[in-house]
Structure 1
């Protein structure tokens, strides 16, 4: 009888119930909340469902030494997590993004590039605030990128500059990408007048197939020579776009923007979520990162809209830009551009801003 009791005790010690803490339960509830929001609100479900379930997976309490946790060398989760930690996944996602992206709006209206540049002020604003809060320069840079770029870029940069903060940075970046309509719309309405929201921009010119083929080659050469360290992301982005636009590699483009990006998005979401173990994630540092990420988004959106308003002072009627596309400088592609379209049509159902907004968005 005593042997049976000892066996049951030993079994109990290995269960999650015996090793659970309130922090684990909090993170599991946050994961469930992510899944609920993704399904109920349909906010970036392709990202939030894997991340939310990953949070649940990563916070199942376990007896130490079972070699199944994401931070235990050699475990299955740890091997999958290397794609995040070593920066393998983001370039593959950028390959798919390139194969999905139409750069026609930017090619036809290159001036819209300036709006995208103005919105990057959010990065530098958050960077300076992060330094003031005590983060070192590398950490501040990794945090600042949240507001000016998308999830894969934030993961890639944080894996190089601040791997110890990658979980919080990645979850923050993807969370705010999902919340783009909630964050940006009030800022856009607060900073624009009704007259400005009704501005109709001239239709962009038709872009030839030749231009579309030349653009990824020239774009890659220019950006890679300016910032060689961005080659893994930029190279894959423009390569994917060349596959799309060349017209002779349709199968490769369809694979890149379909099965490949779906598989990698699933893995990156699940492993990023699983990396948010309670003992590493529930801290004042994580709270600061989430606050700075939101601040970065707010600054970027504000500066994008205000830049267009300022620019319009120097433009003639008929050439003016609707400031509602200023928010699209935040590189949540194509979510920010969709917000420009949605808000614009609230005030003028016939005013389609999507193609204009895709210029600064990409």
Structure 2
């Protein structure tokens, strides 16, 4: 097994004389060439984690390893880690060339080496024609590329990005996301990307680590984390809208199990084995994308449309069924009118169960065979 490019071991950061744990004993491994997003709400500890990796904050306990070597006692300038801030931190009084060359000049590199490195990074980032221009004349996405380029020119082992797109307008943000993804593929960088924006995390990262209250709640491939949340927090945080969560109980019916919450009843896949959970309270997770409005005459769950919220090609529909309120995501060209009575179908294969005691996802044989 190869050594992770970056490894956090029991990493903790306490403030206020130890009474507040901004980062509470997290473990994380990032492989070389991987892009990992630290995703979570404001105040969850993701930026503090980034600051400890780069060396701007000292951990209260735990270890930070790069290529298997502890860097906790290594000064920030010698960790070979590049950090790009949210506000770019570009010198607007300098040209683009001078900005890109700044870090190498500080390190005392020879002019020929600086010119070669600046030229390579400028070509990679599409800045070659702007090198002699003044940074103050650049737009937001161009400034962001200069900030990234100034870091890349020093050849960091790991590139850290702290909310790098939050100051950009929507159109520019989308274009810059594409540029970052291209950059990662072409340069093979190891990137840690801090954001509260799920769309950015899902579109840019190979893996996502969801944080809350200083803890990592789940680390999973970006393609799976919405479908297989490990716990109630991740289920309620991921997705727009997030997973529908209903607390109720399981009962046996026709050789299988059904979930009941008042008058709301939905069956699990035939043959599903849930072990001891059959006798305990559970929370069921229903992804909005897996709730389908039935065609006229089809069997299903009776429901009433409370609200329909168009968002381009899709519409988020709020429905009342069996005394419960759930959300569905459907194609806008099939959007029902508010107040209409409809029939619903919920894909049993997509249902997720969580323990009513631990709030963690329950393994099911039907799920494990998938």
Q: Is TM (by shorter chain) over 0.5?
A: no
Give the number of the structure whose alpha-carbon radius of gyration is greater.
Answer: 2
RCO comparison, higher one (Cα < 8 Å, 6+): 1
TM-score of the aligned structures, taking structure 1 as reference length = 0.22
* Greater fraction helix: 1
